[in-house]
Amino acid sequence: MSYLPEPPADEKTIWRYMDISKLLSLLETRQLVFARADAFEDLYEGHWPEPSIAELEKYGDNSIAKAVAVQPLRERERMFISCWHENPAESAAMWRIFLKSNDGVAIKTSAGLLKKQLNKTNLHIEFGRVRYIDYSKEPIPDGRVFNPYFHKRLDFVHEREVRAVVWNQPSSTHRIEVQPDAKIFSINVDVPELIQELVIAPRHDSWFRELVETVVKKRYGIQCEISDSKVLTAPKLRAPDQWPHTSSTSS
């Protein structure tokens, strides 16, 4: 069974939630960071679900099947991933998950703008949506080494994740320049071209917005829109006696 990750359409909105230190790192280095797969909190990252293992076991002593079965033990240290959240609006859940304080932002961009940055490299980078499955019932196609890294358990479906994956495989097509024990890998990006908007985290102090404005626009010269989170915006209430007056006529 063949499988390729499905990339979002170019116009789809994607987000990356981060604290102020990661934003400053992006602005200063002009590099997008990819984290190594075995450093993620999800211990299932890159592993085969039960049905896939059961299918491989049917081959017995077949050397190829055995190599595929143990693939996660070897490749998790060679896969580097950049994670994004696909959503037309910001997400209250993502703010809670990715920020430990109110000092953070969300980068708003589009799938097309991110793909443009990825395509500027000479690397083979897989890009697409994560597929969420029941790991006790559904297999992952085993034809490509990237496949387990575009699947996650149903527990994480709220993440609506889109990811870019780089494989550090020692060959002419997939080799990247990274130290053997490195936990991250980075690519150069045109930050002003990538960022459409910066959204300031809910409950931020007034000084924090001023800091972000100063750093982003004055120090780094990036003239993107900077706005406040709408997650905690109060509803507009209007008493009936404040409704616009309308007259009705009868025939």
Quick: pLDDT tens for 135-151.
999 999 887 889 999 99
All structural domains of the chain with their residue ranges: 13-242
- Provide the pLDDT for residue 55: 87
Distances (CA, A) of 73 to 61, 118, 170, 185, 240: 19, 27, 16, 19, 65
Cβ atoms of residues 248 and 220 within 8 Å = no
Is the pLDDT confidence value at 90 over 70?
yes
Q: What percent of the chain has pLDDT over 90?
A: 67
pTM score: 0.89
pLDDT score of 249 more than 60 = no
Closest CA to 127 of 33, 11, 39, 8: 8
Give the pair of three-digit tokens for residue 240: 């009936």
Alpha-carbon radius of gyration of the chain: 22
Residue for token digits 């709220």?
Answer: 158
